[in-house]
């Protein structure tokens, strides 16, 4: 397993496309100036040894070297040894609504980004607990199985979007059904599910899934994302154009949070409905609930003794720079002798 010690340095990779763009502009500027001085055939006779191909090879080497140096600064670390550790905690499965209605901006920046922020902040507060992640819209899909790897969980969380499920809707029942399979029946851990949704269009089999969740001892906590007033659903958003989802009559659809459904889900499983606009308040409410729960001891495997790998990237980067310095912009003699393009020699009539 690999982790990145300082991922903030990935921003330096933007230097590479800027460098290539700048070099391309300079290259074509030089070509234009050369054409003003002499035509292409005459210029080749003036500087017969110059190789345009090698000029591009040199800039590619420099770009690759910069990429390798950036990776050296990020410092990937490889877990060299697995060890079994004992923890005390709760198994928490987050079920995130990724339906199109979650793009509504009645909560800034929109419902989906707000939900992801809440989950991320909750995970930041955890210590020995295990987490899992589910996405759902018209159907549910597993995203991250139960794990103590918070870093990977947040990476997968950040990649979730409304295009992950083709069928639309808010199939909370399917999400609960899938979430129940995440828990290990052999481990008698405290089981919690957190449903983040606006609560719309919950389907017909919700009652059955809630009964199964209660039977298996899973407490479901719902976090209401959205307002009673609601908001339109952006369909196409750009700097100069903004359109919203409309019904068959051409009216803009307003999506509103269904607090009644979310409250019903929580009450049926001895959980609670958590609502509010402040991320901090929502996170504090849920973490305070977790702190009051009885923790169960369990074993988990995790990587230890991470070893830095920066030296490989640094070494190859230096090697590319050395090759670049030794690579002259002259045509290679043996390639000229091959005469691959059937070029006429100067003394030919």
Ranges of beta strands (E only) in the chain are: 2-4, 76-97, 130-136, 140-147, 190-197, 218-224, 231-232, 234-237, 242-244, 254-255, 273-274, 296-308
Domains defined along the chain, listed by start: 2-75+309-338 (no CATH), 86-300 (3.40.50.410)
pLDDT in tens, 217-247: 999 999 999 888 888 888 866 656 778 878 7
DSSP notation for 19-50: HHHHHHHHHHHHHHHHHHHS-HHHHHHHSTTB
Work out whether the CA dihedral 167, 171, 175, 180 comes out positive or negative. negative
Task: Using a pLDDT cut of 70, give the percent of the chain over it.
Answer: 79
Is-above-0.75 flag for pTM?
Answer: no
Q: Which conformational region is residue 133 in: left (phi greater than 0), alpha (psi within -120 to 50 degrees), or beta? A: beta
Each residue's pLDDT expressed in tens, for the chain with a length of 349 residues: 666 778 888 899 999 999 999 988 988 887 787 777 666 666 666 555 556 667 788 888 999 999 999 999 988 877 666 566 666 788 999 999 998 889 999 998 999 999 999 999 999 999 878 899 999 988 899 999 988 888 889 989 998 998 887 777 678 999 999 999 998 877 667 899 999 998 875 566 888 999 999 999 999 999 999 888 888 888 866 656 778 878 788 888 888 888 998 999 999 999 999 988 899 999 999 999 998 887 776 665 555 566 788 889 999 999 998 988 887 665 555 445 555 445 555 444 4
How high is the pLDDT of residue 38?
Answer: 63
Are 338 and 37 contacting, i.e. CB atoms less than 8 angstroms apart? no
CA distance to 41, 301, 342, per residue, from 346 (Å): 12, 72, 13
Token pair listed for 296: 């169960």
Distance of CA 67 to the CA centre of its chain: 20
């Amino acid at each position: 397993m690999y982790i990145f010690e300082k991922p903030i340095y990935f921003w330096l990779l933007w230097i590479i496309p800027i460098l290539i763009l700048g070099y391309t502009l300079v290259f074509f500027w030089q070509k234009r100036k050369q054409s003003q001085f002499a035509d292409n055939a005459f210029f080749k006779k003036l500087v017969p040894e110059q190789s345009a191909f090698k000029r591009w090879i040199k800039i590619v080497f420099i770009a690759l070297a910069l990429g390798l140096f950036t990776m050296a600064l990020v410092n990937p670390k490889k877990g060299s040894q697995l060890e079994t550790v004992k923890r005390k905690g709760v198994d928490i499965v987050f079920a995130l609504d990724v339906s199109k209605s979650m793009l509504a901006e009645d909560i800034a920046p929109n419902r989906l980004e707000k939900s992801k922020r809440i989950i991320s902040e909750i995970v930041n507060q955890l210590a020995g607990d295990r987490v899992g992640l589910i996405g759902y819209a018209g159907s549910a899909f597993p995203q991250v199985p139960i794990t103590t790897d918070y870093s990977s969980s947040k990476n997968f969380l950040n990649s979730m979007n409304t295009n992950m499920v083709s069928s639309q809707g808010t199939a909370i029942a399917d999400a609960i059904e899938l979430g129940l399979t995440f828990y290990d029946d052999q481990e008698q851990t405290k089981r919690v599910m957190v449903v983040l949704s606006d609560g719309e269009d919950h389907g017909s089999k919700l009652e059955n899934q809630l009964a199964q969740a209660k039977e298996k001892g899973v407490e479901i906590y719902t976090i209401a994302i959205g307002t009673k007033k609601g908001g339109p659903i952006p369909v196409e958003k750009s700097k100069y154009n903004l359109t919203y989802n409309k019904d068959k009559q051409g009216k803009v659809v307003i999506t509103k949070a269904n607090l009644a459904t979310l409250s019903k889900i929580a009450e049926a499983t001895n959980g609670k409905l958590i609502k509010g606009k402040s991320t901090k308040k929502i996170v504090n409410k849920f973490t305070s609930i977790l702190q009051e729960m009885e923790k169960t001891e369990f074993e988990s495997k995790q990587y230890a003794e991470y070893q830095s790998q920066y030296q490989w990237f640094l070494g190859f980067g230096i090697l590319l720079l050395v090759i670049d310095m030794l690579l002259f912009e002259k045509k290679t003699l043996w390639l000229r002798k091959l005469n691959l393009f059937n070029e006429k020699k100067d003394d030919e009539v």
